[in-house]
Chains A and B, each alone.
Chain A
Amino acid sequence: AQSVAQPEDQVNVAEGNPLTVKCTYSVSGNPYLFWYVQYPNRGLQFLLKYITGDNLVKGSYGFEAEFNKSQTSFHLKKPSALVSDSALYFCAVRGYGQNFVFGPGTRLSVLP
């Protein structure tokens, strides 16, 4: 069975500092991995994905994520956080031919 864990409900970081939002997964075969962001009372917006290729993936708004197969992780990172990055972040995984499974979400608060 597929599963996704986001071990932190909440991440607080000061503006200008680097941020990391953690994600680990379990899936049979090669994973498709995605990060989505949700702003208040909105749907989810695509940030970035890993399908194959380079383990470091760059996405929208300066975010990046590193696929680590041995640790089954796909942590979201940004070198310098902005207050406007404050939102709810979801990690999602799917195996080939499967539907996505979403993590519970991590609320990121960037403090001015």
Chain B
Amino acid sequence: DVKVTQSSRYLVKRTGEKVFLECVQDMDHENMFWYRQDPGLGLRLIYFSYDVKMKEKGDIPEGYSVSREKKERFSLILESASTNQTSMYLCASSERRGRDGYTFGSGTRLTVV
């Protein structure tokens, strides 16, 4: 069974900390994505990557960065966490053509205090 694994289900961090959210997929997918989910706003795209070492900004990249050193791993970095980054973060992957849609991880609920 294909899987997207996010390293943490719940995280609590302090304001100003540097935060790493890790995502690993075992499907050999080319494309990987990071979304945040907030009530009433749906899913908003933060960053995405179509290949190793490649990254593109999504709709809300401010305050975030990403790293994709290996095909199977896509990391989201909060450079200096703020309370408005408290949210559910979802990682997803897909094949290059994308006809089968995205496979999502279980999510990381991040609370910044």
Give A contacts to B, CB under 8 Å: 9, 32, 34, 36, 41-46, 49, 51, 90, 92, 94, 99-100, 102-105
Contact = CB atoms under 8 A, between A and B. Distances in A.
Contacts of A49: 100-101
B42 A100 contact: no
Interface of B: 4, 9, 33, 35, 40-43, 45, 48, 58, 90, 92, 98-107, 109
A60 to B, nearest CB: 13
A90 to B, nearest CB: 7
Contact of A102 (B43, B98, B99, B107): B43
A44 B48 contact: no
A32 B40 contact: no
A105 B106 contact: no
Given A9-B40, A43-B107, A32 B90 contact: no
A43 B105 contact: yes
A43 B42 contact: no
A44 B42 contact: no
Given A41-B107, A43-B4, A100 B41 contact: no
Nearest to B44: A102
Nearest to B10: A41
B104 A44 contact: yes
A36 B98 CA distance: 15
B99 A32 contact: yes
B90 A44 contact: yes
6 contacts: A41-B9, A41-B107, A44-B90, A99-B33, A103-B42, A104-B40
Contacts of B100: 49
Nearest to B106: A43
